[in-house]
Amino acid sequence: MLEPAAPQLEPAFDAANQRVHVITHGCQMNVYDTHRILQVLGAAGWVETSDPTLADLVLVNSCSVRDRPEKKIIGTLSRMLPLKEAHPGLRFGVCGCVAQQHGESLLKKVPYIDIVFGPDRIADLPEIIAENRTGRRVAMTELDDPSDHAFLPVDPTVETGPSAFLTIMKGCDRFCSYCIVPYVRGRQVSKPAAVVVAEVESLVRVGVREVTLLGQNVNAYGKDRAGEPSFADLLARVAAVVGLYRVRFVTSHPADADDAMLDMFGSLPSLAKGLHLPVQSGSDSVLFRMRRGYDVARYMDRLARVRRACPGIALSSDIIVGYPGETPEDFEATMSLVQAAHFDSLFSFKYSPRPGTAAAKVKDDVPETEKAARLARVQSLQDSISARRMNGYLGSEEVVLVEGPSRFARVGGRGKLRTEVQGRTSTNVMVNFGIDRVAAEARGRLVRVRIDEVLSHSLRGTVISWEAD
Ligand code: SF4
């Protein structure tokens, strides 16, 4: 009898000095997850490369919020297929929301994807890669049980600038009709407040001066965990960390935006003067069908309250046009809301169904041409409002947190040191200005700047004084 042939295994995989290139689509949560992926792989010996031609693994951290996300992933990776031919050891992976949503079917559909994993499986990535290197294509997308989800600890050593993101919760319990997030990120789980504060302190110790707290619905923070403080109380605890200059947060939900949280903008000096409060529609009937849990009156009351607490606060929002059943009258109501709200900026999109959501079961009945026309109208209105808001900065004095050299950085000139740097106002507008020191000395410092020029999305100014550290 013949002996069975020995299985042809690849040599044992050694992660040391393997290189990973990550392409990140979507929101800050995905940017944050990319940091965690690099942290996990870094601990296993991998190094990041910004050059995909040098990579042993290319990962696409995907987003399913926008239209045709699968197509975007396939387009990105298919353009890189020649790299696989040149380097047979190269692997392609997909993670993030699309990976979570489609799982193994992505492997079936796209033969050149080697691994697929969901946001809750980031910590398992070294094992997923090792399994793939034995010759198997691997999909791992189990969501954690909310009762025992473990957040990956923050690694402050990977932070290189004065601003950092910090996740304070995962998932969402709201189930807005059009949104895929509760299905791909799971139910809400809040990170314990003591851990959040300790992580902020560890970031401050390495030079971080501004933290953006992240969650799908930060206003519901703590509601899933007995004994945890409310979001307003968490803000107060984070703002009290010595050495932290600014706190920001995204994303808020108008139904959960309570008075205590809104009033914090008037009482916490380090709470940055900016609030993103997505409204989605100016029609009560559309809001009801979107299952948003508030009406226009409640929304406008939230804006009025936060403006009373913090005059001059920058407000931004999201709008979806062409939701199923949106009539011309519904859309005019949205236009009226945008006119009245006077947002500093607005992110507006045409509705498109996400498979698996409640809204996807309803006929997508607003024609594409009508959606496009409505989008153009709302964007044109907002452009004129945003321009007026930006012009309001001319001649004002703003305190800017310096991030580093500007895109047009220059050093020296006529024997005198002159560096172009950039940073953000408390209202989150980018300001470019010249300083008489090197950028590294200025990074992470607060500087008072007079605004001399308003550009479409940024400002230019002149230093008045450096704030004391
Ligand atoms: S609150 Fe936000 S993340 Fe949660 S379901 Fe609604 S839109 Fe999606």
Place of tokens 């050059």: 51
Half-sphere exposure of 366 (CA within 13 A, CB side): 21
172 CA: nearest ligand 1 atom: 4
Q: Which residues line ligand 1 (CB under 6 A)?
A: 172, 174-176, 179, 181-182, 216-217, 253
- The first and second tokens of residue 149, run together, are 């989800």
Q: Strand 458-466 to strand 446-454: parallel, antiparallel, or no bridges (unpaired)?
A: antiparallel
Output the CA 108–ligand 1 centroid distance in Å.
Answer: 30
Which residue reads 């975007």 in tokens?
A: 72
Written as six digits, the tokens of 84 are 């696989």
The CATH code of the domain that includes 456 is 2.40.50
In whole angstroms, what is the distance from residue 133 CA to residue 15 CA?
A: 10
Residue nearest to atom 1 of ligand 1 (CA): 174
Ligand 1 atom 6, closest CA: 176
Distance 172 CA to ligand 1 centre (A): 6
Give residue 14 CA to ligand 1 midpoint distance, Å. Answer: 41
Torsional class of 319: left (φ above 0), alpha (ψ -120 to 50), beta (otherwise): beta
Please tell me whether residues 241 and 182 are part of one structural domain: yes
pLDDT at 147 over 90: no
The last residue of one of the domains, among 119, 142, 165, is 142
Of 339, 361, 391, the domain-final residue = 391
**Closest ligand 1 atom to Cα of 251:** 2
- Residue 3 placed within a domain: no
CATH number, domain containing residue 317:
3.30.750.200
Query: 165-183: per-residue pLDDT in tens?
Result: 999 999 999 999 999 999 9
Over 50: is that where the pLDDT of 6 sits?
A: no
Tell me what pLDDT residue 456 has: 87
Do 28 and 60 lie in a common domain?
yes
State the Cα–Cα distance between residues 270 and 258, nearest whole angstrom. 19
Q: What percent of the chain has pLDDT over 90?
A: 77
How remote is the CA of residue 176 from the centroid of ligand 1, in Å?
Answer: 5
Q: Which two tokens stand for residue 463?
A: 């230093």
CATH number, domain at 86?
3.40.50.12160
Q: Looking at the structure, do residues 181 and 263 belong to the same domain, yes or no?
A: yes
Q: Do 289 and 373 fall within a single domain? A: yes
Cβ atoms of 178 and 281 closer than 8 Å: no
**What's residue 416's pLDDT?**
62
Query: Given the DSSP bridges, would you call strands 430-435 and 419-424 parallel, antiparallel or unpaired?
Result: antiparallel
Amino acid of residue 54: L
Whether 7 shows a pLDDT value over 70: the answer reads: no
Q: Give pLDDT tens digits for 279-313.
A: 999 999 999 999 999 999 999 999 999 999 999 99
Q: How far apart are CA 292 and CA 298, in angstroms?
A: 11
* Pair (123, 202) in one structural domain: no
Q: Alpha-carbon torsion 360, 365, 369, 374, what sign?
A: negative
Residues 220 and 302 in one domain: no
How far apart CA 185 and CA 127 sit, in angstroms, is 21
Same-domain status, 433 and 404: yes
- Look at the chain and report how many structural domains it folds into: 4
Residue 297 sits in the same domain as residue 371: yes
pLDDT, residue 70, reads 78
Judgement on whether residues 240 and 355 belong to the same structural domain of the protein: no
Tokens matching residue 180: 């895929």
Q: Is residue 2 part of a domain?
A: no
Residues 436-447, mean pLDDT to the nearest whole number:
87
Question: What type of residue is 115?
Answer: I
Global pTM reads: 0.89
If you take atom 8 of ligand 1, which residue's CA is the nearest one?
179
pLDDT digits (tens, 9 = 90+) for 352-407: 998 889 999 999 999 999 999 999 999 999 999 999 999 999 999 999 999 998 86
154 and 135 belong to one structural domain:
no
Single out the residue in 215, 245, 272 at which a domain terminates. 272
The side-by-side arrangement of strands in the sheet containing 314-321 is: 274-276, 314-321, 345-350
What is the four-CA torsion angle of 427, 433, 437, 443, rounded to 10 degrees?
Answer: 30
* Inside any domain, residue 374: yes
ω before 160 within 30° of 0 (cis)?
no
Query: How confident is the model at residue 389, as a pLDDT?
Result: 96
Q: How far apart are CA 60 and CA 24, in angstroms?
A: 6
Residues 157 and 133 in one domain: no
Which mutation among 63, 175, 177, 181 tests ligand 1's pocket best, with the greatest number of atoms within 8 A of CB?
Answer: 181
What domain range includes position 31?
Answer: 19-142
| pLDDT at residue number 1 | 35
Window from 63-77, 115-129, 218-232 with minimum mean pLDDT: 63-77
| pLDDT tens digits, 412-427 | 555 566 789 999 999 9
Evaluate the CA torsion angle 457, 334, 351, 327 in order and state its sign.
negative
Classify residue 459: in a domain, yes or no: yes
Q: What confidence tens digit (pLDDT) does each residue in 19-29 have?
A: 999 999 988 88
**Ligand 1: residue whose CA is nearest its atom 2:** 216
